[in-house]
Amino acid sequence: MEHFSKGEKAAKIMFGYSALHVAFEKEEIDKLQKKLKELQGEVHNHEEYSLLPTQTATSPKKCFAEPRYPELQIPEHIVQFSISQIRKATNNFHSENIIGEGGYGPVYKGDLDGTPVAIKSLRPHGTQGFSEYQQEVIVLSKLEHPHIVRLIGVCQESCTLVYEYLPNGTLLDRLSKGLPWEDRVRILVELRSALAYLHSHRPNAIIHADLKLTNVLLDAGDASRLGDFGTARMVHVKPLEEETIIRRTNPMGTMGYMDPVFFTTGELTTESDVYAFGVVILQLLTGLDGLNVAEKVRGAVKLHSLLDMSAGPWPEVDSERLLKLALRCCSLERKQRPVITCDAEWRFLQILRGKAAPAKKARKWNCFAF
């Protein structure tokens, strides 16, 4: 049996993301599937926290098998709506009001006493369930940042979540309609700010775990909001040493954006978000699809030739440097990835931002009163 280094194993998994582009031997595919089943079986009934490199602790994973979901402790600033209010706001969940769809369930545009909102409804037999609903309430109720979607309220009767309404849809939608490079760079600065805020959260850092273009929403002025925190995880940070503590959990996320190291080991860290952010940077600079985008950029003879010129004339030198920084984010070695909270590591992004048009003012949050 062949023995591979950690980097080689991760590389094999990463190549597996693009089955349409790379022909794998059947034996290798079987090995990968067996490895994934072992990982899923290992963490199916529990999640571990482990202090790198040796300390571990376990906690049981809650299972909600009962048809009636347990009642959550909702913070006072999160409004609790009745099922009748939600039905009225969505015209009884009419299909004409659906503005999005995901594993959790449909997202409706609603109207609550004259205020436009987005209402995400739990589908009983969806790929995501009550645990994601619970996780999103727990995490978002603790956050307040101009570039993170704001949770306004919940309806426990129907397991629905009520958010601020963002009319310009997802970042993927917006890119398909054309987006100047200045706006792309500004959005990257905003997303980096949101991730730095999450990773700096104490006593528990927050890992988003599913950063991608469709989870970034835009308001009327194209200011961005990072959304969909159903897969987010809190990771304990040691107060003095700031040592990295990893969270062991089922591999989750979206192929193309998922950290290969997390996929192979089930060990989730803040570096997993950095990997996904690197993919997003490459997509915004090149206009390429996220699947295997790092390999495509690494294989380019001239990096500037990959810049998406539909966005306008990029500052080539600084753009190339940012492409190289994004490739570092996508490194198979986690230690090689830039730290999202370190300003010095992201100076090229800031340089590009300075060459773009003046920053647009983020829309101020409204004070909702229901």
Catalytic residue, candidates 210, 228, 259, 273:
210
Tokens 């089955």, located at residue: 19
- 210 catalytic? Reply is yes
Q: What number of residues does the chain have?
A: 370
How far apart CA 312 and CA 268 sit, in angstroms, is 37
Question: How deeply is 63 buried, as exposed, middle or buried, from its count of CB atoms within 10 A (0-12, 13-18, 19+)?
Answer: exposed
Any alpha helices (H) in the chain, and if so which ranges? 6-16, 26-43, 83-89, 130-140, 171-176, 181-199, 260-265, 270-286, 293-298, 316-329, 347-355
DSSP characters for 155-180? ETTTTEEEEE--TT-BHHHHHHT---
How far apart CA 108 and CA 101 sit, in angstroms, is 9
How far apart CA 245 and CA 264 sit, in angstroms, is 18
Tokens 């309609």, located at residue: 177
- Across the strands, what pairs with 268? 247
Which region holds residue 91: left if phi is over 0, alpha if psi is between -120 and 50, else beta? Answer: left
How far apart CA 275 and CA 141 sit, in angstroms, is 26
How far apart CA 61 and CA 48 sit, in angstroms, is 9
Q: Which amino acids are annotated catalytic?
A: 210
